[in-house]
Every structure is written in structure tokens, then in C-alpha cells.
Structure 1
Amino acid sequence: MREFFADLHIHIGWTEKKEPVKISASKNLTYINILKEAYHHKGLDMIGIIDCHSPRVQEEILYYLNHGLIGELDEGGLQYQELTILLGSEIEVKEEGRGEAHYLAFFPFLSDIIDFSKWMQKHMKNINLSSQRLYVKTKELQKEVYDRNGLFIPAHIFTPFKSVYGKCCDRMEEVLDLNRIDAVELGLSSDTEMADRIQELHQFPFITNSDAHSLQKIGREYNKLLIESPTFKELKWALKGLNGRKILKNYGLDPKLGKYHQTRCVQCDQLVENESYCDHCGSKKIIKGVSNRIDELADLQTGLHPSGRPDYIHQVPLEFIPKLGQKTLEKLLSHFGTEMNILHRVSMEQLQAIIPDKLAEMLIQAREGKLSVEVGGGGVYGKVLE
């Protein structure tokens, strides 16, 4: 078996016919641009595109299949050169009397997600757009995903907007069938140490993904899998820990860099400690941070990890590195091929041969999670300190 890098949460902003899919995403985030960026520049082995329920997107996929640019794998997924693309959907559900939550669903074959879309269209106002409200109970959604041999994953579970813990419930068992959850996605503002303070989560594998709304954000968080080959079937086995397959590591931002890590006042834009009102101006208009929300939910003072839980590596994406401009990044890519090579495989000596020593040292520190950061919150990313 081999090691593969997987980012399973990437949005399509626009089709090549200039039709919107994810309105808040970049217009150059088209299906084919995602494949090229993820494979040629990022160096990923597997990606999940989570707007494949849209008939507009399905039309493009069929075009590329018919013209031989991509192919369908026998064990599930599509293939572009050596990159595997999983067919996914992000869906919003609002349970009665509760807030909204987002969920990810992945399917092995194009025919499965086309059939899923036909079902969703009966319960949704606009099937062509991403992350739309589905007017059914969450457990019904889970059943429909499982009936089509899919995977069901609660998305960015602590985010204060549109997530299961951030907006919907204190325990997932209140709204979900726990036997139909294949993994949970941690989100940019939390990590394994934080999430494992909640005992309900000990039964689920953790994944961490970019939730990319632009090409450059692809691969800012990802997972290392030990599998035979990058296919839907092998991913399913890795999530279940079957036949020697497993998640080896989660790579993600230091949660302090996440834009919802700490509570922030909307009125005066200051980070605050109080969870009910602003310590600075007294306003009650605050966005509760992920760290504060986990404090509310936690059964444990510190994270207690179940057996087999992979390490979570705090890794700073290249775009966060001070003074690493576009020209320098292009220089690095021309020498070393992909961002995965730069982040994982290139030595200090190789870096120093083409960029200043201080910058090379920062790249190695970013790889090892040793850079000092300024905390983010309330929709504002943290930043790396020079």
C-alpha cells in the first residue's frame, strides 16, 4: 500500500458557460481549473468536489468523460491523469426549532449522484446551486445517501454558521443517525486535540479539508491516507480502518489561524473573552468562537484520543508565509514541481539554494508547526508573525 494526499471539500464557483454554482466562490473555480490546479500545482492525489449534484456541473463532467479527458474508475471516482475526483455534494438542512447545518455526501459513480440529484430536486428550490437548503429531516437525507452506497460526513462541525455543533445541536444524536456517519470534518478553526474533548466524537474518524472557495485555497488542509489506490472504495475502507487501510495524518492550520477560532465583537471588531457580550464596548452582537463553543460542549478538560486516532499536524499553508510572494512561489514550483513537494519532501539545503535562508527556515518551521501566530476570530483569519 502507498500514501496519498486527499482534500475532500472543494467548491465550484462557476461553470465554463458562465453559470453560477457556488455564488460566494471565485468565478475561475471551474471544474477543469480545479483538476489542473489540484494535480499540477498542489500535487494532491484525491479531491472531493462537493457541487457535483448540480445538473450544470454534471453536464460538464459528461462532456469531459465523452471527450476522454477524464475516465470513471471501476472502484468509484473519476480520474484525471493520476488525480482521483470524488463526486460530492454539500447540503444544508434546518431541523425544526434548530439552526442550519451543512453535510457532505459522496457517491461512487456519476449515475449515483445523478439519481441523488433527482431525489433532492423534489425537496430543494434550486438544484443548480451549491449548499442549498434541503427541506427534509437530516435522518431522511442520511438514508437516501446510504441507499445509494454513499458516504455521509457532517461538514466543518464547529463553525458558528451552518454546522451541526455550531448552530444546530449540543449532541449529534439529537438530530442524526450516528450509525450513518462515516467521518466528521473538523473545519479550519479546530483540531483533534480540541475535538476529542467531546466523547460523542470518539467513535468517528476525523478528516480535515480546505473548503476551498478559490484555486489558491485548494490543499490548505488535507489528509494523508494509507490505501492501495485513490478510489472511492479505498477511501471508504480507510475511514472504517478496514483491510489495513487508514487515515495516517490530518494536516491543517493551527486553529488560531482559523477565522472563527476566537469570539469577536461585530460592533467594535475586537476579540473578546466573554461569550455573551463585548468586554470592550458592551455590545451583545458577537460571533462565538469555535474554542468557546467547544468549551461549552466538552466532557473532558483535555483531548482523550481513541485508539488509532491519527496525529493532527499543524501546518501553515504557503499562502500564509510572510514575504512569500507569487514570484517566489512560482520559482519554488518551477524547481520542485508541486506544493506537496515543497511542504513535505524538499530539504532545507534544497530550499536555501534558491531562496533566502530566512524564508527557507520559515518554510521548514511552517512544515513543523513552529511558527508564531496571531489568533483569528469572527470571520477574520489569524496571521503568521514574522
Structure 2
Amino acid sequence: MIVDADLHIHSRYSKAVSKLMTFPILAENAKLKGLEIVGTGDILNLQWEKELLEAAQKVDEGSYEIKGVRFLLTAEVEDSRRVHHLLIFPSIDAVRGMRERLKPYSKDIENEGRPHVNLSAAEIADLANELDVLIGAAHSFTPWTALYKEYNSLKEAYGDAKVHFLELGLSADSYVADRIKAHHGLTYLSNSDAHSPMPHRLGREFNRFEIEDATFDEVRKAILKRGGRKIILNVGLDPRLGKYHLTACSKCYTKYRLEDAKGLNWRCELCGGVIKKGVHDRILELADTNERPKDRPPYLHLAPLAEIIAMVLNKAVETKAVKSIWERLLREFGSEIAVLVDVPIKSITELIGEEIAKAIWAFRNEKLIVIPGGGGKYGEIRLPEEIKKAKLEEIGDIKIKHEDVYYRPKQSSILSFLKKA
């Protein structure tokens, strides 16, 4: 069976997270998005664990179900050098065992969703290995709390401990991450790290698994590439839309070339703010190959439907007008993924009119203008004026100058992977 999964989110017990992050709301929005599996996030928090067990039906030791959506036990922890690690647990017993082992090294594990732990990356990985917990670097390239912010290699961070996957994060995809040869034996995960259940956050990045059931055991086999189970597609934002894609000031978001930022000693010449090195530049610093492993799944860049609607309406994503159209499309066609990929443009036009249908066509055909993000500000998508002014039947002939994203094939060649059998 083919299953879509977002394995990294947060609960309202983490800082800067929506109060709407509850299990019933997550389950409802996951179904609308088209996700069959969602990570619980923050399961090391005792209160969040209680809420899961009260709301969910147990499927097996590592899998729970709410309103037809499966939840796997996941958490993120921060180590002594402020690097984040994603954990995927085989059972509640393993969660409780990890909680007890981490307590002596954490002052906030009792009340924080994402606890800080006074242990190194290698020590946390050793504990995970001991408890049969899957572990990997979270959002590996972001400049604040990620592996490559602090280390120059997986070996430097984790030593001899086993690492099971690498999470790409919003500002990178598999094409750029594979520029580092040490990654070639690892599975990549593309997860949302959602702090809100809203449609432009939950499932904005996800993984497509080919497994026999929506359970922890089957997902583990896929991550470890065992028994014919596997990830067949990573899906996420165009890296240029990530908050840290380009090197930029973290205060006024002015973008800089790497050599210019170094020359300014990482201080913005306009406002004096700190310049943060972009994921693009950081990967190029570490790059040591142009090859890709033969078994690497394709990566599909998928813009959130709500953001496409908001772009056309010129309104904020959170407004009622945007949400109303988003819900109408999903009620009619089943899921966000179906609307973005499968539903005929003519059918979308008949339901909500030509303007949004043209924007969805432009997304599918790589005609949207992308303004890269940096310094902590998300990138933006814009609809070219030529497409805005044209009739629907005319847009296929419009030529748009489009800057290619490095190291990836044309999106149109892999869109078919999103069409479920």
C-alpha cells in the first residue's frame, strides 16, 4: 500500500506553537491534507502522552489511531550544543524509558514539549540505539539549531553511534543534500515540523511510503530499507521558499552573497543585524560530490494549496476567505494532494473560477515566480503577470523566464509519483 506520512510536528506544550495543536484537530486536518500517518511530536512530554492515550485507539505497540489517522510516537530533543534530533519510538515503554534516562540531564523535560538535554549528540544517539529508538538529525541544515550549524559531518556529531535517517528541513531537498557523499547511505525524511494544524503548515512536507500497513514496524522497515518496504517519494517546499535558504540578515532580511557576509563579519551593513548563513551556501561549503545514489527517491516540490489561494486573492493565508475556498476544494475533490496534482484544471475552474485554477496550473507547470527566503523569512510565490492577464485556454503557450533550481530534474517528470494507484 502507498501511505503519506508527516513524522515531525509539535504539540502546544512546545514554545511558539498554536493552542489548536490537539489530537482531534490534527486528525481532522491530516485527513483533509491527505495524510494517513502523522508523528505525535513531543511524546516525551507526560501530559501530551496522556492526551494521546485518552484520544487514541492502540493499533500495536508503536501505532495509535484517531479518526482514521495513524499516529506514530515521535519527539524532538535539543542537545548540549543546541542541535535538534528527531526520535521515533517503537512503543510507549520505550518513550517512558527514554524519558527516565534523560531526566537527570534536563531541567525542562517535565513541562516542555521539546526538552533541552545536557548530553552530546553522540550520547543521545547511544541512548536511542540502546532503547531501539530510531534517531536522525532534525532539519539538518537550518542555521540555528541543526546538525550542520554546529558540525561539519555526521561522524563529528554522532561518533560511532548508529543514525537511521536525515531530516532535510524546509530549506533543503534531496538534490542538494546529496552533494554530501556521507549522506548517500542514509534515508531522507521530509517532514513539516508543524507548529500549527493549519493547511499551509501540517503536511507541507511529507514522505510517501510503500509499506504493507500504516504502523511503526512497517515505517521502520522502510526507513531502514528492509523487506522491500521503502520511501518512494519525498515531498516538500521548493527549498527557495524555506526561511533560511539564502544568506541574509535575520533582522531586516537583506540577502547577501557569502563572501560579502564574511567581509562584513556577519553584521548587516543596513541595520546592524546578525547575518545568518543560508542553507544553500552551507551545503556548497560541504559539497564533495555531484553524484546521487541510485536508490534515492525523487523529490517533488509542492507549494501549499492555501498559499496558492492566498496569492491569488492577495490575502493572508489565515483569513476566512482563503480557508473557505480551501475547504470547498477539499470537500469536492477529497484532499489537498488531489487538488494540487490530480484534479483536471477544467474541474477546478467549474467549481471556483478561472483565477485560482490558472495558479494551480502554473504550479504544476513550474510557471510560478519564486522569491527566495533567508534570514528567518519564508520565500514567496507569485503568479506572473502574463498568466494573470491571459485566458485559461491561452496559458499553455505562455513562455516564462524561470530560474532553475540546482541539482534537480524537471518537476513535471516526477509529478506522476503523487498519483496513487
1:267-286, Cα deviation, whole Å (9 max, x unpaired): 54311112322685395721
Q: Is residue 148 of structure 1 aligned with residue 131 of structure 2? A: yes
Counting only pairs closer than 5 Å after superposition, residues 1-386 of structure 1 correspond to structure 2 as 2-13=1-12, 21-39=13-31, 41-64=32-55, 70-74=56-60, 76-94=62-80, 99-127=81-109, 128-166=111-149, 168-177=150-159, 180-216=162-198, 217-266=201-250, 268-273=252-257, 274-276=260-262, 277=264, 281=270, 283=272, 285-300=274-289, 302=290, 304-321=291-308, 322-323=311-312, 325-367=322-364, 369-386=366-383
Equivalent-residue separation in structure 2 for 1:163 and 1:54 (angstroms):
22
CA-based RMSD of the aligned residues comes to 1.9
Equivalent-residue separation in structure 1 for 2:369 and 2:245 (angstroms):
16
1:96-136, Cα deviation, whole Å (9 max, x unpaired): xxx42100111122222122212222211011212221112
Equivalent-residue separation in structure 1 for 2:261 and 2:354 (angstroms):
43
SS at match of 1:36: helix
Give the residue type in structure 2 aligned to 1:138. A
Equivalent-residue separation in structure 2 for 1:60 and 1:342 (angstroms):
32
Equivalent-residue separation in structure 2 for 1:60 and 1:326 (angstroms):
27
Change (3 A) 1:369 1:240: farther
Equivalent-residue separation in structure 2 for 1:129 and 1:75 (angstroms):
24
Displacement over 6 Å in runs of 4+: none
Equivalent-residue separation in structure 2 for 1:84 and 1:243 (angstroms):
21
C-alpha contact 1:317 1:366 (8 A) present in aligned 2: no
1:62-112, Cα deviation, whole Å (9 max, x unpaired): 322xxxxx2222363112243110111100012xxxx42100111122222
Other-structure match for 1:17 = none
Equivalent-residue separation in structure 2 for 1:267 and 1:380 (angstroms):
9
SS at match of 1:215: coil
C-alpha contact 1:72 1:109 (8 A) present in aligned 2: no
C-alpha contact 2:86 2:135 (8 A) present in aligned 1: yes
1:355-384, Cα deviation, whole Å (9 max, x unpaired): 222321322332455422111100111111
1:30-70, Cα deviation, whole Å (9 max, x unpaired): 2332122212x212011112201101111212322xxxxx2
SS at match of 1:335: helix
SS at match of 2:98: helix
SS at match of 2:351: coil
SS at match of 1:62: helix
Give the residue type in structure 2 aligned to 1:384. I
1:164-199, Cα deviation, whole Å (9 max, x unpaired): 102x10111012046511110000011111111111
- Bigger Cα displacement from structure 2, 351-360 vs 286-295: 351-360
Give the residue type in structure 2 aligned to 1:63. E
Percent identical: 34
TM-score normalised per structure 2: 0.82
1:23 positional shift: 1.8
C-alpha contact 2:241 2:370 (8 A) present in aligned 1: yes
TM-score normalised per structure 1: 0.89
Query: Unmatched 5+ residue regions in structure 2?
Result: 314-321, 384-421
1:9-29, Cα deviation, whole Å (9 max, x unpaired): 11111xxxxxxx112111111
Equivalent-residue separation in structure 2 for 1:328 and 1:133 (angstroms):
40
Equivalent-residue separation in structure 2 for 1:231 and 1:369 (angstroms):
35
1:186-224, Cα deviation, whole Å (9 max, x unpaired): 000111111111111111111111110111110101111
C-alpha contact 1:124 1:133 (8 A) present in aligned 2: yes
1:276-316, Cα deviation, whole Å (9 max, x unpaired): 2268539572111111111111113x4x2112100011111
Paired residues, what number? 365
Give the residue type in structure 2 aligned to 1:373. V
- Bigger Cα displacement from structure 2, 234-243 vs 282-291: 282-291
Give the residue type in structure 2 aligned to 1:35. A
1:240-293, Cα deviation, whole Å (9 max, x unpaired): 221111111111111111111011124543111123226853957211111111
